[in-house]
Structure 1
């Protein structure tokens, strides 16, 4: 138990020191704090310059709520609980493996350090995106998880910051299901992860932005605003139960597994989910919603 308490204590200290360095030192390209700000401003300028829904305000409905969610989920959540929880869970998992005389390195299929840099990054990106696509499907298909995911689908007007409006339990689910597959590949350093992460953030922001783009032939590979708007549609097609267009960065998986659905542009479709008129409108109550008695 003392070992795990040390992990928790060190996680808080390490992340706090890391966050301070991110705020102070802006002269390295993989700075997540200023990288998020730069990508957000860049996509917001695109929204202002090329608005798809021209009647939508620049400061759309819930703009400031979603902006708060961005920084809470990306940084404060890590400081409050997520890093300590992730590190402790990883330590417990490794200890359980050691009971059977196994370590994660024993499970490693190959090391991307033995591959060209571009190939290693490509494999990391493909594996992580496919796992996240499947995880996203689970968030819709399992009622317990759907109650958490409703926070993200409570968006009524799309804009770039809606990308990071989600309940804090979602990254717990994503990180848990990603842990073993990524560990099996192995060999990634922080800058490798930063390259993929910044690309995913940029595509995610664009998917949620007030932009009417589909990237032409690339729409069959990359998720895009015209495709993702249908993922947020309040009215689902009659032939599906749990949703469509689950892609995060890549649309490829939806086309391969036949979960794609883009019947027309979708510019003015209603967003949300059945019963969303009763869903809380403020941050605190949205976070507490999955735990409320009516959802037991």
Structure 2
């Protein structure tokens, strides 16, 4: 028990030190704090320069709520819950495997670090994106998980910061699904993770931005604003009620598995979900909603 308590304590202190180093410019390429701010400012500037919905205000509906969500979910949530939970869960799994004479490395099918850098990065990116697509589908499929995912779909006007409006339970689900494929492929360097993560943030911000882009022929590979806005559509055909366009960074999974749906230019469609009138409008209410909502 003391081992786990020490692990939790070290997780908190270690991540707190990481945040301080980030804010004080003591980190380089792995500085997610200023990386997030820079990406957000650039995409916001693109929204202002090339607005798709001309009548949408610069400070759109829930702009400041989404900004709070962005920093809370990206940094404070890790400090409060995720880092300690992730580290203790990983240690517990290792301890259970050790009881039967196994380690996580026994499940490793190949060592991705033995591959060329470009191949390692590409495989990591594609595998993780597919797992995220599958997880996203799961969040829509099961009512218990959908109640958590409603937080993200409560956005009524799209903007870059809506990308990171989500309930704290979502990263727990995503990380759980990603653990096995990562174990199978072997370890990745922190720089690998940073490169892929920053790219995903850029595409995710753009997908939610007030920009009418689809990237031309690349729309069949990359998720884009004209495609993703239909994921947030309030009204969908009966056979599509569980959701459409689940891609996180890549759109190719939706085309492969026939979950793509772009019937027309969706610039002015209404966003949300059927029972949104009873959904809380404030941060605390949205965080507590799934805990008392009957499935």
Tell me the TM-score normalised to structure 2 length.
0.98
Q: Is 1:211 the counterpart of 2:227 in the alignment?
A: no
Between the aligned partners of 2:241 and 2:88, the Cα distance in structure 1 is: 36
Secondary structure of 1:3's partner? helix
Deviation, structure 1 residue 238: 2.4
Between the aligned partners of 2:231 and 2:190, the Cα distance in structure 1 is: 31
Secondary structure of 1:140's partner? helix
Equivalent residue runs for 1:103-122 within 5 Å: 103-122=103-122
Tell me if structure 2 keeps the 8 A contact 1:148–1:170: yes
Secondary structure of 1:158's partner? coil
The number of residues matched between the two structures is 295
Between the aligned partners of 1:58 and 1:16, the Cα distance in structure 2 is: 33
Between the aligned partners of 1:140 and 1:172, the Cα distance in structure 2 is: 16
Between the aligned partners of 1:167 and 1:27, the Cα distance in structure 2 is: 28
Q: Deviations over 1:159-208 (max 9, x none)?
A: 00000000000000000110111121113110110000000000000000
Secondary structure of 1:295's partner? coil
Unmatched segments (≥5 aa) in structure 2 = none
Between the aligned partners of 1:34 and 1:219, the Cα distance in structure 2 is: 29
The residue that corresponds to 1:159 in the other structure is: 159
Between the aligned partners of 1:180 and 1:92, the Cα distance in structure 2 is: 15
Between the aligned partners of 2:64 and 2:158, the Cα distance in structure 1 is: 13
Deviation, structure 1 residue 27: 5.9
The residue that corresponds to 1:227 in the other structure is: 227
Deviation, structure 1 residue 71: 0.2
Between the aligned partners of 1:75 and 1:143, the Cα distance in structure 2 is: 28
Secondary structure of 2:128's partner? helix
Secondary structure of 2:239's partner? coil
Between the aligned partners of 2:202 and 2:28, the Cα distance in structure 1 is: 18
Secondary structure of 1:243's partner? coil
Tell me if structure 1 keeps the 8 A contact 2:233–2:272: yes
The residue that corresponds to 1:136 in the other structure is: 136
Q: Deviations over 1:67-98 (max 9, x none)?
A: 00000000000111110011111111111111
**RMSD across aligned positions (CA):** 1.0
Q: Deviations over 1:225-253 (max 9, x none)?
A: 00000000001122223100000000000
The residue that corresponds to 2:266 in the other structure is: 266
Q: Deviations over 1:50-72 (max 9, x none)?
A: 00000000100000000000000
Tell me if structure 1 keeps the 8 A contact 2:230–2:244: yes
Greater CA drift, 97-106 or 7-16:
97-106
Tell me if structure 1 keeps the 8 A contact 2:21–2:27: no
The residue that corresponds to 1:148 in the other structure is: 148
Deviation, structure 1 residue 30: 2.6
The residue that corresponds to 2:63 in the other structure is: 63
Between the aligned partners of 1:237 and 1:13, the Cα distance in structure 2 is: 49
The residue that corresponds to 2:199 in the other structure is: 199
Between the aligned partners of 1:187 and 1:291, the Cα distance in structure 2 is: 35
Unmatched segments (≥5 aa) in structure 1 = none
The residue that corresponds to 2:33 in the other structure is: 33
Pair 153,104 (structure 1): closer, same or farther in 2 beyond 3 Å: same
Tell me if structure 2 keeps the 8 A contact 1:26–1:34: no
The residue that corresponds to 1:295 in the other structure is: 294
